[in-house]
Structure 1
Amino acid sequence: MEALKDVIQEALNIKKRNKVTFLTGAGISSASGIPTYRGTDGIWIKGSKHYKPESFGTFEHFSKNADEVWQYTFFRKKMFAEANPNEAHYKLVRLEELLKDRFNVITQNIDNLHQRSGLQNVYEIHGNLREMRCASECTKDIYEIPKSIPLKEIDEDLTYEESKLLVCPECGDHTRPNILWFDEFYNERIFKLHTTLKIAKNSGLLIILGSSGATNLPNRLVQQTLQYGGHVIDVNLEDNGFTNNFSDKKRFHSYRGTALDFLNLFESILT
């Protein structure tokens, strides 16, 4: 633990490439009652009413079953709306106040809890469930998902009138949730690919909070920070994909415990 404190103190004192970046995953929201994605009761383990993630979490599936995917989207929105930010979310707000423009959060989460906690500097690399866009990309415009459509239970279908609100105003095609699916790729316009890689490059300290390291860009962010001389601390309850990929790197460190415990430790060092 003392060695980890020394790493944090060293990173806080550097003058160049001195950003402190938190990379958050579903684990930080588990204390709010939202299931993780790949835990035993996770969203991608249990699947939807009829499908497992390898099929329903894709644009290909959406193109054939748009209404069903939208119904499941409104079920998930209900799950998120009923949850509240937890202490770890609010602790990040406190750290943002202390670190000011050195502070960044890059999140894989689409649950909006960071924003609801009051956090300002958030980059959503997997999109969000506040927005939708044309499924055929006839325009680059992004629209707010209509608030007039009520949130759904898992077995509650969309009405015809509700479905009509989910069409592109430009071309009349389906809209789609503004999120990243398994068969899609990161880009700058929607998922801040180049922006977040630049942030990682300029981070003296990148701290992973509750991410399993199962997707491409988070691993690239870790690699980017390490390549340019920064330290990475993996805060998780157990070993994961980041451990498998980077544990042999001397500036990669592990902290096994909750996000809140680590953030309390970090604040005590910072203040």
Structure 2
Amino acid sequence: MTTEKIVILTGAGISAESGLGTFRDVGGLWTQHRIEDVATPEGFHRDLDLVHGFYNTRRAKAATARPNAAHEALARLEREHPGEVVVVTQNVDDLHERAGSRSVLHMHGRIAGALCGACGGRWQAPDIMSKTDVCPTCGATATRPDVVWFGEIPHHMDEILRHLSQADLFAAIGTSGEVYPAAAFVEEAAAAGAHTVELNLDPSAHVTAFAETFFGPATETVPRWVAQELARS
């Protein structure tokens, strides 16, 4: 079978081996902080210092993290596959780009970015953000991290759905399958006729929706899978 277009969804599990924490596992970020406190607009307005501190820490960790073998394998797939490869990531780090991937859609925003809640202006975030930061566009003190919180609409959804409708192969890597709309991407792709693959440390909440599964650390399963796909090209 010739696979022309590959669409890949990545979650926190692909960056875990680079030292960036996952969310729902034992010891994950949501066992240390309440979602309502640090990942909602309401939590931000209740305690700006807490939320800025949380994302300042995540920004610092992301800046010092390095792409791992899984990120590098996906960059290799994009370079060597004769068709199109699109990475849709739930992650706010830039490890895909630093590994060499070029076609990356950040549906949950970027930790390295800042967003003005007043005018919608965007700019590169400083290492440390605070509630007193001034928007360089409008001058308002309404700066927040440029990430998508619970209750907000993810970025690039029209483009993502278009890619899913055109996919010959859809792979989900390192994602729990518990957060929508990303959790429904496998059904969207399958309905369009794509072969579906899950690569995960453990089965996700939607594992039965996938035609093929590979379990184990991303640094082991993803390079093997990429080599397998390139051999078929």
Q: Note whether the superposition's TM-score is higher than 0.5.
A: yes
Question: What value does the CA root-mean-square deviation take over the aligned residues?
Answer: 2.0
Question: What residue in structure 2 maps to residue 175 of structure 1?
Answer: 143
Secondary structure at the counterpart of residue 221 of structure 1? helix
Q: CA deviation at 1:267?
A: 3.4
Separation of aligned partners in 2, 1:85 and 1:268: 18
Percentage of identical aligned residues = 29
Alignment of 1:19-98 (within 5 A): 19-47=5-33, 52-98=34-80
Q: CA deviation at 1:268?
A: 3.1
Question: What residue in structure 1 maps to residue 133 of structure 2?
Answer: 165
Separation of aligned partners in 1, 2:188 and 2:177: 14
Question: What residue in structure 2 maps to residue 267 of structure 1?
Answer: 226
Separation of aligned partners in 1, 2:81 and 2:181: 25
Which 5+ residue runs of structure 1 have no aligned equivalent? 1-9, 150-157
Counterpart contact for 1:21–1:207, Cα < 8 Å? yes
Q: Which residue identity lines up with residue 45 of structure 1 in the other structure? A: T
Q: Which residue identity lines up with residue 212 of structure 2 in the other structure? A: H
Q: Which residue identity lines up with residue 97 of structure 1 in the other structure? A: R
Separation of aligned partners in 2, 1:166 and 1:38: 34
Alignment of 1:142-161 (within 5 A): 142-147=122-127, 149=128
Separation of aligned partners in 1, 2:169 and 2:21: 28
Q: Which residue identity lines up with residue 94 of structure 1 in the other structure? A: R
Counterpart contact for 1:197–1:220, Cα < 8 Å? no
Q: CA deviation at 1:219?
A: 2.1
Secondary structure at the counterpart of residue 255 of structure 1? strand
Q: Are 1:119 and 2:119 matched, yes or no?
A: no
Q: CA deviation at 1:222?
A: 1.3
Question: For each residue in 1:91-149, what CA deviation from the matched residue of structure 2 results, as whole angstroms up to 9, or x when unmatched?
Answer: 1111111125511111001121111212111000111111121213x2x43121135x4
Counterpart contact for 2:74–2:226, Cα < 8 Å? no
Higher helix share: 1
Query: Which residue of 109, 129, 149 maps to 2:111?
Result: 129
Pairs aligned (count): 230
Counterpart contact for 2:38–2:54, Cα < 8 Å? no
Separation of aligned partners in 2, 1:101 and 1:178: 32
Separation of aligned partners in 1, 2:14 and 2:177: 14
Which 5+ residue runs of structure 2 have no aligned equivalent? none
Question: For each residue in 1:204-252, what CA deviation from the matched residue of structure 2 results, as whole angstroms up to 9, or x when unmatched?
Answer: 1111110001111212321111111111111112222222xxx1x5x63
Deviates more, 1:102-111 or 1:91-100: 91-100
Q: Which residue identity lines up with residue 32 of structure 2 in the other structure? A: K
User: Which structure: larger Rg?
Assistant: 1
